Amino acid sequence: MVDALKLEDFKKLYRERGRSPYHPKMMLKAIIYGYMNNLYSCRKIEEALKRDIHFIWLAGYEKPDFNTINRFRNRVKEDINRVFTELVLWLAQSGYITLDVEYIDGTKIESKANKFTFVWRKSTESNRDRLMRKIKALLQQIDESIAQENAEQEGGQTFTPSDLRNIAANWKRHLEEDPAPKTEEEKKQRKEHRKKIKQLEAHADKLDEYDEKLRIMGDRNSYSKTVQDATFMHMKEDAMNDGMTKPGYNLQIATENQFIVDFGLFQNPGDTLTMIPFYKSFLSRYGKLPQVGVADSGYGSEENYRFMEEAGIEAFVKYNWFHREQRKNYEPDPFSQQAFYYNASEDYYVCPMGQHMERIGTVTSHTESGYETESVRYKAQRCEGCPLRGCCHKAQGDRIIEVNYRLAEYRRKARERLTSEEGLEHRKRRCIEPEAVFGQIKYDMAYKRFRHVGLDKVKMDFAFFAIGFNLKKLCSKMAKQARNGGNTPQSGLLCLVFRIIRPEIRIFWPDCPKMAA
């Protein structure tokens, strides 16, 4: 496999002069074979190159040390993704996969960061607000002339560290220009002013620190001081059962026939916001989108359903209470909005007591990614004195419900797909696709913790692992085929069928590219 790769880009990573380097193909063989055998440490690979006959044969008696191996991995961290893509395309050409069906799921993998070096957004913002109140109280004690110069900032609510340093410098200049104090009272006042200047400079440094923390955090709720790219998340592997969060990354993978066909590492713990960038990653990697997408209820949002519909992907994606609806004894809560009768012709709902809930307007909201959702509001005529009020709702005033018709329609279509014969097959298959791969990753191959600092290096490390995993899976399938008489898979057609959608309603794909086989 490695000998068949085109590594012209690797040659650009080496200098033309100096000592002759180890051949990149030899280095790739040694490292990938190490990952196939659960060896992720450069020192362990170095030891294997001296003692293991398989490594010795692959390396041709070459013995690079652990520093050389580590430098090579870091040197090719931007090109190793292309190697992974080449391998997946080879698997598609050989018929092991089709790239038409994508089973998506995510898991949390712990980072190398110290688990007690957390920085939380909520505490940082509250501390910053408390500091701003101290700053404003201190600035009120400034001389009148300086207060006049900075009146706009005082009333305008916020200060930057540079503003505070300028105020402190102006205050210090005013003190130097004033005549030397003569009485004890003047000396005491001068000393008090200098003390306040030092306090203001200290507040400026602290404000700078809080602003830097918020800048590093970005849209996240936390990060680790030792590995700033890592976010604190709840992990399934909780040895102490105390629900403690740990620094890590949200690993998203797409599998087909238990091969990893795409992967992505995200800093947000939820799966909902990862689907759209993950599909765009698939498109940039292979120049096409899959025909079918299968995922669990963590991805069932209006934004994701709309994206898949506009992109022409047949979505077999569950929503929150899908499994509850499939139970034989399932009965919806009579006081929930889903159980209310709706009169479509006159546009009103009927509550359990028979009152008409008239439409009173619409409300728009935005998701974390900026997607706008629209819901219609309906209000009951009079809830006062209703005998069912305690069961229906406990809020003040008459009950108001919000209905998102677009999301309800997407869920209806998803329900039809998921309960069809094809949907049942995909649901059965999803349990043995990404879930089985995660089990093999974490328990069979003991890949439970990233060993690198920084998101770019973590992506590089998992790219090496994914290549080794796919090759290991390929060897297993080839051995199984040999035992069964040497049958080879038939090459699948890489075709993609798109649904026709009116251009004016597209928001994700205004100019959807035409995908070729």
CA–CA separation, 311 and 290 (whole Å)? 10
Q: Is residue 388 part of a domain?
A: yes
All residues at 6 or more sequence positions from 144 whose CB lies less than 8 Å from its CB, including other chains: none
Beta-bridge partners for 345: none
Q: Which of 405, 433, 464 is the last residue of a domain?
A: 405
Q: Is residue 461 part of a domain?
A: no
Q: Note the pLDDT tens digit of each residue in 53-63.
A: 999 999 999 99
Query: Are the CB atoms for 229 and 454 separated by under 8 Å?
Result: yes
Distances (CA, A) of 222 to 123, 263, 395: 10, 23, 33
DSSP output for 213-273: HHHHHTTSSEEESSSTT-EEEE-S--TT-S--EEEEEEEEEEEETTEEEEEEEESSS-SGG
If asked whether residues 125 and 217 sit together in one domain, one would say yes
Work out the pLDDT band at 375, boundaries 50, 70, 90: very high
Question: How far out from the chain centre does Cα 205 lie?
Answer: 32
Query: Are the CB atoms for 326 and 305 separated by under 8 Å?
Result: no
Report how many domains make up the chain.
3
Token pair listed for 180 = 């030397």
Q: Is residue 56 part of a domain?
A: yes
All residues at 6 or more sequence positions from 348 whose CB lies less than 8 Å from its CB, including other chains: 342, 356, 357, 358, 359, 378
Strand boundaries in 285-417, DSSP class E: 292-295, 314-317, 341-343, 348-350, 356-366, 372-380, 400-403
Percentage of residues of the chain with pLDDT beyond 90: 48
Q: Note the pLDDT tens digit of each residue in 462-475.
A: 999 999 999 999 99
Reduced to 3 states (helix: H, G, I; strand: E, B; else coil), residue 484 is coil
If asked whether residues 129 and 71 sit together in one domain, one would say no
* pLDDT at position 333: 83
- Lowest average pLDDT, out of 64-68, 141-145, 149-153, 266-270, goes to 149-153
Q: Which of 223, 254, 277 is the last residue of a domain?
A: 223
If asked whether residues 129 and 218 sit together in one domain, one would say yes
Q: Is the dihedral of CA 346, 349, 352, 354 positive or negative?
A: negative
Distances (CA, A) of 209 to 113, 116, 131: 21, 19, 11
Given a cut of 90, whether residue 331 has pLDDT beyond it is: no
In single-letter form, the type of residue at position 321 comes to: W
Q: Note the pLDDT tens digit of each residue in 31-45.
A: 999 999 999 999 999
Beta-bridge partners for 293: 102, 315
Nearest partner of 316 among 65, 101, 14, judged by Cα: 101
Place of tokens 């003991």: 446
Q: Note the pLDDT tens digit of each residue in 230-257.
A: 999 988 776 556 668 889 999 999 999 9
Q: Is residue 287 part of a domain?
A: no
DSSP output for 27-87: HHHHHHHHHHTT---HHHHHHHHHH-HHHHHHHTT----HHHHHHHHHHTTTTHHHHHHHH
DSSP output for 96-162: S--SSEEEEEEEEEE-SS-TT-EEEHHHHHHHHHHHHHHHHHHHTTS-HHHHHHTHHHHHTS---HH
Distances (CA, A) of 115 to 214, 231, 245, 289, 406: 19, 10, 8, 38, 42
Count of other CB atoms within 10 angstroms of residue 292:
19
If asked whether residues 131 and 206 sit together in one domain, one would say yes
Q: Is residue 300 part of a domain?
A: no
Q: Using N-to-C axis directions, what is the helix angle for 302-311 and 275-286, rounded to 10°?
A: 20
* pLDDT at position 389: 82
Q: Using N-to-C axis directions, what is the helix angle for 421-431 and 405-419, rounded to 10°?
A: 80
- Lowest average pLDDT, out of 133-147, 255-269, 389-403, 482-496, goes to 482-496
Q: Is residue 99 part of a domain?
A: no
Element (H, E) at 459: helix 455-483
In terms of Cβ atoms closer than 10 Å to its own Cβ (0-12, 13-18, 19+), residue 6 is: exposed
Given a cut of 80, whether residue 378 has pLDDT beyond it is: yes
Characterize 57-76 residue by residue with b for buried, 16 or more Cβ atoms within 10 angstroms of its Cβ, and e for exposed: ebbeeeebeeebbbebbebb
Q: Is residue 486 part of a domain?
A: no
Q: Which of 223, 247, 271 is the last residue of a domain?
A: 223
The full 3-state SS of 331-357, as one line of letters, equals CCCCCCHHHCEEECCCCEEECCCCCEE
CA–CA separation, 42 and 339 (whole Å)? 60
Q: Note the pLDDT tens digit of each residue in 95-129.
A: 999 999 999 999 999 998 888 889 999 999 999 99
Question: How far out from the chain centre does Cα 253 lie?
Answer: 12
Q: Is residue 348 part of a domain?
A: yes
Q: What is the DSSP letter of 379?
A: E
Q: What is the DSSP letter of 314?
A: E
What rounded mean pLDDT belongs to the chain? 85
If asked whether residues 130 and 216 sit together in one domain, one would say yes
Given a cut of 60, whether residue 139 has pLDDT beyond it is: yes
Domain that holds residue 372: 337-405
The model carries a pTM of 0.83
